[in-house]
Structure 1
Amino acid sequence: MSIGDSAELESKLSLSDRLKEFKSSQFDPDAYLMSKCHAMTEKDIKHASSHLMDLRKASAEEMRKSVYANYTAFIRTSKEITVLEGELLSMRNLLSTQAALVHGLAEGIIPDSLSAGPEDPEEEDIYDVESTKLTKTDKWFVEYLDNIEVLLAEKRVEEAMAALDEGEQLAKENKSKHTLSPDTLLKLKNALTVLRQRLVDQLAEATCQPFTRGAELRKAILAIKKLGDGPRAHTLLLNSHQQALQRGMQSLHPSSTSHGGSAFSSGLSQLVFSTIAQAASDSLAVFGEEPAYSSELVTWAVKQTEAFALLLKRHVLASSAAAGGLRVATECIQICLGHCSLLEARGLSLSPVLMRLFKPSVELAFSANLKRIEQCSAALAAADDWVLTYAPVGSRPFSSTSLSISQPKLSSSAHKFISMVQDFLEDVGPLESLQLDGPALEGVLRVFDSYVNLLINALPGSMETEEQLEGTGSKIVRVAENETQQMALLANASLLADELLPRAAMKLLPLSQSNNRVDTTPRRGSDKQSRLPEQREWKRKLQRSVERLRDSFCRIHALEIIFTEDGDVRLNSQIYISLDGNAEEPEWFPSPIFQEFFEKLTRMASIATDMFAERAIEAVTETGIDPYSVLPEDDWFAEVAQIAIKMLTGKANFSNMDRDTSPTASVSAKSISSVLSHGSN
């Protein structure tokens, strides 16, 4: 009979009949396999494999049906077994305790009773009474230990502590009352030590659980402290808060966007410093202001702050600093300092720790931002048409003090330059605690000097050689071809140095107050006064950069008149000899080269009047005064000049001069004060 026929025959049998052979206690798997697989072909092996798979499925189905049919009984039996195991464990513990007590009592009492017996009936009665008392004490001792075991098993902490206190009190009273034998007293003390340690370990394990928070945590820590292990209790308190902090961090995910970075910084900062604040509050509530615990708290808080700062640097500050994102770094630091300042009322000053760790990243973003301003300015100067216009619609105003102040006219690159500088200074302003005011002003001076170099290179026929351009890192810029464009270069530099940059730098002046400034280390009055000379020197350096542009401007135009395009000198003795041959001009008339020079100056004066005088007229107009009612006619200036010459040469004096000569004599004091106040701004 083949294996296939055997399988077909067995398939017709019931499941219990098919499994009967396997249930036998004498079943031998090896013999069964050899009997079935002896001289089997490949087809028989496949049939056997299929047969075994069917048996396994049938067995699993039979087990499932059996479990479902007896599920209620199975659950009830499991519960009963669990209860029975607990009872057996309790009985074993009690029996072990009883055996230990009996063994100890046997060793302590029986030798004394065997060593000496009572000599008379009275001594025998006394011995029986004392033996009875000792037996009662030992019985109490057994019940006492049994009670504490139950309290510990049921985690009734307060009652267990009360029972331990009772045992401690009994041990102290035994010195005077002698209610316990020396051996029993020693066992009691040893048992109290072991039980106290067990209770401490039980409470320590509870503090590590996530659900132990708030009042429950403080209660457990206070219990450990009362049990005589204060240092461990304080360490467990801090560890519990650290574990809660780590669990909270797992729910925060950093984002690569600037908005996401700020959200991550805010969430992480609030989590860290609120956890530190709660730990400080719990420490103060349980341990008071003991120096040892306060020192451990400060050390722990500094460690958590350092870990927080490193995490923030890795996920937010590092990438933003490398990209020049100073604003992101500023926002993160402002958020952190805001949360950190709330801890100062608890005596925890963690701001210096943050500043020490954040400063390298901020300085990196600081440098990258300045470099970006230089690069953007160079790119814009290459496409600037050097035409003065108002700022584009929608751009930020140059003054935050008054919306009525007119916006100045600048070329497109200058508009973008001052806008980037204002953004930069606004980002640096809130970081006064990092003492970046001085480096920020120096950085602005450096980028302005770089921008002035671009303006110099925009002058036609600049004396800068290609070698000098490569050495100074200058960029190729669009040349200002006509005189109007060249005057626009001067207008850009002078307006930036005289008004716009000093006005933007007011955000960093120590005497000014900013609402959004977070300064954890305010400057003293002496520090503020010491900065004033530095500010004046900074403004002088701005003017020196402008003077370089003016010098290049004047030199180029002067050389343009003195030399020809071929490089020949036009200003020589021959021009004066040739004057004798020109009968149309008198001898005293200027030479042609100076006539040309005068025409050039006249044209430039006209252009400058349109550019610079217009700014003065607009400034006066914004004060509510008609400038034409204040400023005199041009003839007045010529008349006053003649009077001044006479007075300087001694041909006249102040006594015989008309005092109504002043053009502002009829102007009201109010108007004058308005003009002066505007000028002071």
Structure 2
Amino acid sequence: MESSSSRFRFRDLPEMENCTQSDSDSASDLSSVSSDRDDESDLQSMTGKGIKHLCSELLELKAASSEEFHKHIFSNYSAFVRIFEEVGHVESELMQLKNHVVTQKRLVSDLVDGIYFKVLSKETIDLVIEESGCEELLPISKLEAHANDVLETLDTLLSENRIDEALSLIELEDENLQRLRFEEDCLVDELRLFSSAVSERKAMLILQLTMVAENPRIAAPELQKALVGLCRLGDSHLATQLLIKYYHSRIASGIHNFQASKSFLHKVYIRELSKFVFSMISQAARSFVMLYGETSPYALELIQWARQETKVFGACFDKYVKTISEISGGLSTAVEAVQFAMSFCSLLETQRLVLRPYLIKRIRPCMEEVLDKHLDHFKKVIDIFTATDAWVLGRYLVSGIMNEGCSSMVVGQQPEYCLLTNSGRKFVTLLQSITVDVTPLFSLQIEGSIVSGLMNLFKKYIDILERAINCEIAVAETNNSRLYLANSVQQQVSILANLSALEQLFSSMVRSIFKGVSDVNSELMKIHPVEVQVKELDSCISFIQEASCRLRALFCEQFILKIMSVKTSYKLTPASSVDGPGESSMFHGVMPSLAFQVLFLELRKLEKLSEDNIFEVDWLLELLRELIEAVFVWVSNNKENWDIDGENMTVELPLNFKQFVLDVQFLVEISKYGGYFSNNPLFLLNLMKSALLSTELDPRRYLSLSRARTPSFFLKEMSMMIYGL
């Protein structure tokens, strides 16, 4: 600064002299010529220039001084930092001096006490010794000195935050105290005071470690070190509580951050959240093992905390799944979420933490709700693809509509091809895709809900088939929905064949579901034994069979009502025209009822369908047997159509009885001709007996009807006329 000022001063000196000289000259001029105005203006202009020049010099001086100031700051910064560091060292030295002063103060106090005892008279000292009854003062002095040294050292270590050293010293003194309690020459009062003082320092150290562990910004290694210290001090319960508190805080903040992020609306959200939550639980378990050892069982508080965190995760899972509003792909997304959660939760089992049952309990209700929602949607899908079905059978490869696991089972029970209508093929494909999608949900042990949902879809489809067959009901119920009615017998039989194939395919699906449950979760066998699974499987299959039988019975009922609604038209031959006696001659010239003639023609049409390879022969033959059996039952229950009352029976039968017997005989001949009961002829005989007994006729008297020639001859005539046989 001085060099700068001097530089400006030396530079300005000539100018200042010139300015002084000019001022003196101006003064002389003014004194000589005071009235000259031009000289006065020249003086003013010279003064202004001087002022401006002075201001500019002042500004330059200021800039130079600022530059010099900054140079001084930069040059002295390192010295300032060094001084600041030295101040820290000085503070630590001051602390040490303070502790030293405390120590010296204590020593001075002890010295004063010693001098005080010396001042006392010898007689007084002897008297005190005799009253105390203690002949040796050396052990007491050693204990007091040791206690003072220990307490002083502990105070120093605590003040300097040297936790490890303080822990080691406290542990050592605890052992010493335990040893001194068994020594006879040690005073109890002194020992109790020393123990109390050590306990006070131990409480201070516990408080200090607790404050460290409760620091929200503490790192995991530092936390572990503080918890180990608490365990060494004998407060394991507090260490466990602090451990739980730390990881609970981590999980809560992590969940909050996940929900606040944009990933909440993406599929990766639940995967990352599952990974984070169960990873934190895993870290907490590892920290517990580090504190208490591998063989130590988990504390009840830790297990309860892990279950509570699983419950919190379940609430987050439920919230996420309910945000999946779209039907297309929503079920698969929810199933993927289940897979992520279950997989990460299962990893904890290697650490002997079994949380899957609690996780299943929390997420199963929401998954059942999602499943029900999608199953309701699939019911609407069934309505859509059945509306355009014309009920015509097609041959489809089983392996083309079923997966490998189910198709292999089906192939062993039925041909490689199956007969299905268009809606049947779509329906079984839908069931198969649903089964594949929900297979991961077997781990949630909701196979009962899955099978029940599939059964409800099957029931929905059967109801549609029933409406298609039962035309009268369908006309009233299908005003608001499109549905092609099965008006022809061939369409109705196609529906039954379609249902029969679906029955076998669906049974295979259900069996594969229960098999998959056992493969996915072996622990399920403990909850659902084999007997329970077999019972559930049998119940499901029985439901399908009952539904199929109900639809077949409806078909038979509709078929019989349609046939028997044909007006009866037959011609009886007068009694005088009978050629001779005998049971066989009394029906000569009598024709079966027109309805039974139509029945024969319709049955022959159905038989021809198997000949054209439209239906399977064995299946169609079974259907025809059921149909004939239903006809016999209908005849037994509707004998009033022949005006039979069973009263005033004479040797010569009335014409209505003759017609009834002839129709029953004709029905028997139809069955024999078609070979419907060739494997069990006694069953046909029992049906005939039941029909005759219903009218109080003696079956033994009319068994010869089976050998009558007129009905069988009529059958041959009709066959030759219609089919050219």
Relative to the length of structure 2, the TM-score reads 0.61
C-alpha distance in 1 between matches for 2:248 and 2:219 = 13
For residues 580-599 of structure 1, what are the structure 2 equivalents within 5 Å?
598-599=600-601
Over residues 388-416 of structure 1, what are the superposed CA-to-partner deviations in whole Å (9 max), with x where a residue is unaligned? 44669996525515559335343343233
1:288 to 290, 296, 304: 296
1:400 corresponds in structure 2 to 405
- Do 1:389 and 1:410's aligned partners in 2 also have CA atoms closer than 8 Å? yes
C-alpha distance in 2 between matches for 1:645 and 1:181 = 111
1:612 counterpart = 2:620: no
1:518 to 505, 517, 521: 521
2:382 to 377, 383, 389: 377
- Do 1:174 and 1:180's aligned partners in 2 also have CA atoms closer than 8 Å? no
1:538 corresponds in structure 2 to 540
C-alpha distance in 2 between matches for 1:89 and 1:202 = 19
1:221 to 198, 205, 227: 227
- One-letter amino acid of the counterpart of residue 271, structure 1: S
How far is 1:501 from its partner?
A: 0.9
How far is 1:230 from its partner?
A: 2.3
Query: What's the Cα RMSD here?
Result: 5.3
C-alpha distance in 1 between matches for 2:220 and 2:372 = 46
Over residues 495-539 of structure 1, what are the superposed CA-to-partner deviations in whole Å (9 max), with x where a residue is unaligned? 112x01110000343xx46575124342479x4335545543433
2:58 to 9, 13, 16: 13
1:572 to 567, 575, 583: 567
How far is 1:74 from its partner?
A: 2.8
- Do 2:510 and 2:537's aligned partners in 1 also have CA atoms closer than 8 Å? no
2:507 to 499, 502, 508: 502
How far is 1:229 from its partner?
A: 1.8
1:267 counterpart = 2:275: yes
Number of residue pairs matched by the alignment: 559
- Do 2:388 and 2:484's aligned partners in 1 also have CA atoms closer than 8 Å? yes
1:493 counterpart = 2:488: no
Identify the range of structure 1 (226-235 vs 308-317) with the bigger mean alpha-carbon deviation: 308-317
- One-letter amino acid of the counterpart of residue 307, structure 1: V
1:192 counterpart = 2:198: yes
How far is 1:377 from its partner?
A: 0.8
How far is 1:491 from its partner?
A: 2.7
The DSSP-based 3-state class of the residue aligned with 1:522 is helix
- CA 1:528–1:639 in structure 2 vs 1: closer, same or farther (change >3 Å)? closer
C-alpha distance in 2 between matches for 1:145 and 1:647 = 108
C-alpha distance in 2 between matches for 1:231 and 1:484 = 80
- CA 1:440–1:151 in structure 2 vs 1: closer, same or farther (change >3 Å)? same
How far is 1:613 from its partner?
A: 1.2
How far is 1:251 from its partner?
A: 7.7
The DSSP-based 3-state class of the residue aligned with 1:379 is helix
- CA 1:449–1:642 in structure 2 vs 1: closer, same or farther (change >3 Å)? closer
- One-letter amino acid of the counterpart of residue 572, structure 1: K
C-alpha distance in 1 between matches for 2:385 and 2:160 = 79
- CA 1:196–1:94 in structure 2 vs 1: closer, same or farther (change >3 Å)? farther
C-alpha distance in 2 between matches for 1:130 and 1:639 = 127
- CA 1:435–1:137 in structure 2 vs 1: closer, same or farther (change >3 Å)? closer
2:579 corresponds in structure 1 to none
How far is 1:232 from its partner?
A: 1.1
How far is 1:10 from its partner?
A: 6.2
How far is 1:8 from its partner?
A: 12
- CA 1:350–1:385 in structure 2 vs 1: closer, same or farther (change >3 Å)? same
C-alpha distance in 2 between matches for 1:488 and 1:306 = 53
- CA 1:394–1:118 in structure 2 vs 1: closer, same or farther (change >3 Å)? same
Structure ID, larger Rg: 2
- One-letter amino acid of the counterpart of residue 354, structure 1: L
How far is 1:542 from its partner?
A: 1.8
Over residues 94-142 of structure 1, what are the superposed CA-to-partner deviations in whole Å (9 max), with x where a residue is unaligned? 545655x46975997788778x54349999999xx99999999877666
C-alpha distance in 2 between matches for 1:351 and 1:439 = 19
1:72 to 73, 78, 81: 78
Over residues 472-515 of structure 1, what are the superposed CA-to-partner deviations in whole Å (9 max), with x where a residue is unaligned? xx943344566654443323222112x01110000343xx4657
How far is 1:191 from its partner?
A: 4.4
Relative to the length of structure 1, the TM-score reads 0.64
How far is 1:374 from its partner?
A: 1.0
For residues 320-339 of structure 1, what are the structure 2 equivalents within 5 Å?
325-339=330-344
- Do 1:305 and 1:350's aligned partners in 2 also have CA atoms closer than 8 Å? yes
2:97 corresponds in structure 1 to 91
- One-letter amino acid of the counterpart of residue 74, structure 1: F
- One-letter amino acid of the counterpart of residue 91, structure 1: L
Q: Name structure 1 gaps, 5 residues minimum.
A: 1-5, 21-57, 563-569, 581-585, 618-635, 652-681
- Do 1:254 and 1:260's aligned partners in 2 also have CA atoms closer than 8 Å? no
The DSSP-based 3-state class of the residue aligned with 2:122 is coil
- Do 2:331 and 2:374's aligned partners in 1 also have CA atoms closer than 8 Å? yes
For residues 523-672 of structure 1, what are the structure 2 equivalents within 5 Å?
523=526, 527-554=529-556, 571-572=566-567, 575-576=569-570, 598-607=600-609, 610-613=613-616
- Do 1:94 and 1:146's aligned partners in 2 also have CA atoms closer than 8 Å? no
